[in-house]
Amino acid sequence: MNWFKISILLGVLYSAYYYIDTYVLSSLFLFDPEVLHSIVKESIATTPSDNTTALFVTVNSKLRDVYGDLVNEFNTDDWVFNNAGGAMGSMFIQHASLSEYLIFFGTAIGTEGHSGVHPADDYFYILKGEQWVHDAGNPDPIIYKPGEVHIMKRGSMQQYSMPTTCFALEYARGYIPAMLPFGLADTFSSTLDMKTFYLTAYFTGKDMIKHMLHGKF
């Protein structure tokens, strides 16, 4: 294959990627970041601050009122641990499809690690506690508190910390399958926690397949 053919092939591939990224991917997004933020703020304002489980129930109920069966009903038995980028917490999957995910994520005792570099925009709505963020070269932390949202555009990276108890509603939109290796790699490199690996794959795969069967990609 000569250089002319290679350049033509690369041009076609880039054009296809640009079209999908610009026109197709955005048409798949069904969740509105502003609506999610409003739900979080309303739920915090109407739920006792010392009852975190009640806050999860309230947020989940409001999400289901707006988005229906796109959001799984909250179930305390379906939480799973998550190790990624050196940080450890637990999560409850409320929605997982090829273009979006919506989860509760956090920790009761604190954690810190690398955010990862993702092909998706990530919205981290703080429900309880604080998230501290470090940008390289900035000697001062950026601190996000309940009701605030930490937005990470795709391709960016940060160090983050939850110094003590912290939970959030996390929403990502973009190329979700490409994010999965980051969320699962620590299983093979350090934790060897195959039960958590199985549960993560099970809940994620089940939800993605369910939504694909209903035309949600």
7 & 92 share domain: no
Span 19-54, pLDDT tens digits: 888 889 999 999 999 999 999 999 999 999 899 999
Residue 112 and residue 43 share a domain: yes
Per this entry, what is the length of the chain?
217
Is there a single domain that holds both residue 192 and residue 113?
Answer: yes
Please tell me the distance from the alpha carbon of residue 23 to that of residue 98, in angstroms, as a whole number: 16
Q: What average pLDDT does the chain have?
A: 95
Q: Provide the pLDDT for residue 11.
A: 81
Q: Are residues 178 and 188 in the same domain?
A: yes
Q: Within this chain, do residues 98 and 22 fall inside the same structural domain, yes or no? A: no
CA distances 151 to 51, 85, 190, Å, are 26, 18, 29
Going by C-alpha positions, the residue among 180, 82, 168, 176 that lies closest to residue 133 is: 168
Which pLDDT value is given to residue 3? 84
In this structure, the answer to whether residues 40 and 24 fall within a common structural domain is: no
Domain match, 84 and 64 both:
yes
Q: Say whether both 59 and 106 belong to one domain.
A: yes
CA 36 to chain centre: 13
Assess whether 18 and 61 both reside in one domain: no
pLDDT grade for 180, boundaries at 50, 70 and 90? very high
pLDDT at 14 over 80: no
Between the CA of residue 13 and those of 6, 17, 19, 28, 163, what are the distances in Å?
A: 11, 6, 10, 21, 44
Assign 96 to helix, strand or coil: strand
Give the number of other Cβ atoms within 10 Å of residue 17's Cβ.
10
Other C-beta atoms lying within 10 Å of the C-beta of residue 198: 12
Do 99 and 180 fall within a single domain? yes
* Domain hosting residue 4, numbered range: 1-29
pLDDT at position 18 is 77
Q: Which of residues 126 and 17 earns the better pLDDT score?
A: 126
Query: In the prediction, which pLDDT does 51 show?
Result: 96
Higher pLDDT, 5 or 38: 38
Whole-number percent of the chain with pLDDT over 70: 100
- What is the total count of domains within the chain? 2
Within this chain, do residues 154 and 116 fall inside the same structural domain, yes or no?
A: yes
Shared domain for 118 and 154, answered yes or no, is yes
